[in-house]
Copies of this chain bind each other. A is one copy, B any other.
Amino acid sequence: MAGCELDSLEETLETHLPEAELREVKRILFGKQTEKLDLPACAVDAASERNFELKGYKFEATQEQLRPPRKVRVGLVQNHIVLPTDAPVLDQINAMHSRIGEIVEVAAMCGVNIVCFQETWTMPFAFCTREKEPWTEFAESAEDGNTTHFCQELARKYNMVVVSPILERDEQHSTLWNTAVVISNSGNMLGKTRKNHIPRIGDFNESTYYMEGNTGHTVFQTQFGRIAVNICYGRHHPLNWFMYSMNGAEIIFNPSATVGALSEPMWAIEARNAAIANHCFTCAINRVGTTLLFGFTAHHDFGHFYGSSYVAAPDGSRSPGLSRTRDGLLVVELDLNMNRQISDKWSFKMTGRYAEYAEELSAAVRHDFKPNIVKE
């Protein structure tokens, strides 16, 4: 352990376990091994120079007779904030743009088709403070904000779909939202999708800043597959993942910001369970580092954001995670044919009895619902 935080669960196991045991432990913990992806030397060198971790893996599907493989490369970006949280707002945003720009350039070298950044990526994670200023100044228009324009340039330049989770200011409705802007590889904005479930955890309450999203479970048809975005706390809600899947999502991104003491043992469980239960791929992204917030009353130090971004597959396997401590880019090649193959094998959608659940749930949400409890 270098310092007080473990760098990587997987590397710790690899360092200490004998080979035969390691193979079995990894199979039980992580499923079928994900092969390493060969990445170009220029990308490896650039990542090293720019001081971020670069890892590549691939999930392979069975070759079919009638469909060619549907291979797509996703890029998951996790990073620290760049400037101190008391630097001028615009300087902080510009520094984040610059950092993300140099990571996305490496993603392009690696052939990434769809890149996703962490939750509210242009700003420090300040929703623990309860104060509005200067944090709400980070909010931008989803359609016309500088950050969307910046991402549109990236998308056009690299022929890449960009998922850009920001704090959105909706001038028309005088509201803020926690929103992911989805930009096509053409550079056009495909649309936006808002965080459906807003955390109220202990004394931490994000509804101080924005409320539950009103964009439902929109799925975006891109050139590289149908994608959806389940933002942060929404990963605790199986119905949220499920409804994105029912609307056709093949890959569900989960851009997050969460700290070790609170959620780390759940991190490897929830997105992976969603991939299994819904016969789709899920991409869990978390920021890294400890954000110090100056001069505010609540949670100056929210804790350690533990990174560990990973991709989970519908067959129960998952990629290794990025580091718990470093900026990183995880490049994963998926063959989307795996989704239907696993669905045909396991049949969860056919055995799900959803019509009966729709009825049961409709009854259960009523205030005068009588639970089905048998007593002696």
Contacts and interface: CB of A to CB of B under 8 A. Distances in A.
B27 A13 contact: no
A77 interface: no
Contacts of A212: 351, 353
A24 B3 CA distance: 13
B1 A25 contact: no
Nearest to A200: B347
Contacts of A27: 264-265
Given A190-B374, A219-B373, A238-B238, A197 B353 contact: yes
A277 B216 CA distance: 20
Contacts of A362: 358-359, 362
Contact of A364 (B13, B17, B354): B354
Nearest to A273: B273
Given A219-B371, A238-B238, A354-B365, A376 B264 contact: no
Nearest to A264: B28
Contact of A358 (B198, B216, B358, B373): B358
A20 B1 contact: yes
Contacts of A237: 277, 348, 351-352
A67 interface: no
Given A17-B16, A348-B237, A265 B316 contact: yes
A188 interface: yes
Given A25-B13, A348-B237, A373 B18 contact: no
Contact of A265 (B29, B220, B242, B361): B29
A194 interface: no
Contact of A238 (B13, B201, B277): B277
Interface string A183-219: 0101010110000111111100000000010001111
Q: How big is the A interface, by class?
A: 35 or more
Contact of A272 (B200, B269, B317): B269
Contacts of A268: 28-29
Contact of A372 (B25, B219, B239): B219
A212 B352 CA distance: 10
Contacts of A373: 218-221, 226, 247-248
Contacts of A239: 238-239, 242, 352, 354, 357
A173 interface: no
Contacts of A42: none
A17 B265 CA distance: 19
Interface string A311-331: 000001100000000000000
A66 interface: no
Nearest to A234: B351
A30 interface: yes
Nearest to A347: B200
Contacts of A246: 360-361, 364, 371
Interface string A53-87: 00000000000000000000000000000000000
Given A21-B12, A237-B348, A184 B376 contact: yes
A197 B144 CA distance: 48
A289 interface: no
B24 A17 contact: no
A79 B121 CA distance: 50
A151 interface: no
A360 B243 contact: yes
Given A238-B242, A266-B316, 9 more contacts: A6-B21, A12-B25, A17-B17, A29-B265, A31-B265, A186-B376, A246-B364, A248-B373, A269-B272
